[in-house]
Amino acid sequence: MKKRSLSGAKIREARRNAKLTQDQLSGKLAAKGVHLDRSSIGKIEQEERGVLDFEVLAIAVCLNVNVGWLLGFEQRTTFRDSFPPHRLKNFPLHP
């Protein structure tokens, strides 16, 4: 099957490091207004489903990882370390 995501394996790694199940991640995302069920998260992690930009951002917030790291462009850092506090204040998915 054709890969549909660059970040699936990284999302799985970050979720497991956070000691969250796919259902728990789904709940955290729903609290941020992003609705991905357990099945969708599984498909993303298996790289069978693509991820929209706002979904990647919300996943990064919920797992406290850098968006660039999820996409394979940067070293692993936390989401909060990626942005100065004054930029996070008005951020819609503020952690």
Decide: pTM greater than 0.85: no
Residue 75 corresponds to which tokens in the numbers above? 């070293």
The whole-number pLDDT of residue 74 equals 66
Cβ proximity of 10 and 46 under 8 Å: no
CATH 2.60.40.1120 describes domain 8-88: no
Establish how many alpha carbons lie within 13 A of residue 55's alpha carbon, considering only the half-sphere containing its beta carbon: 17
> pLDDT of 22-80, one tens digit each?
999 999 999 999 999 999 999 999 999 999 999 999 999 999 999 989 988 866 555 55
Domain boundaries, the chain: 8-88
- 85 pLDDT band, cuts 50/70/90, is low
- 83 pLDDT band, cuts 50/70/90, is low
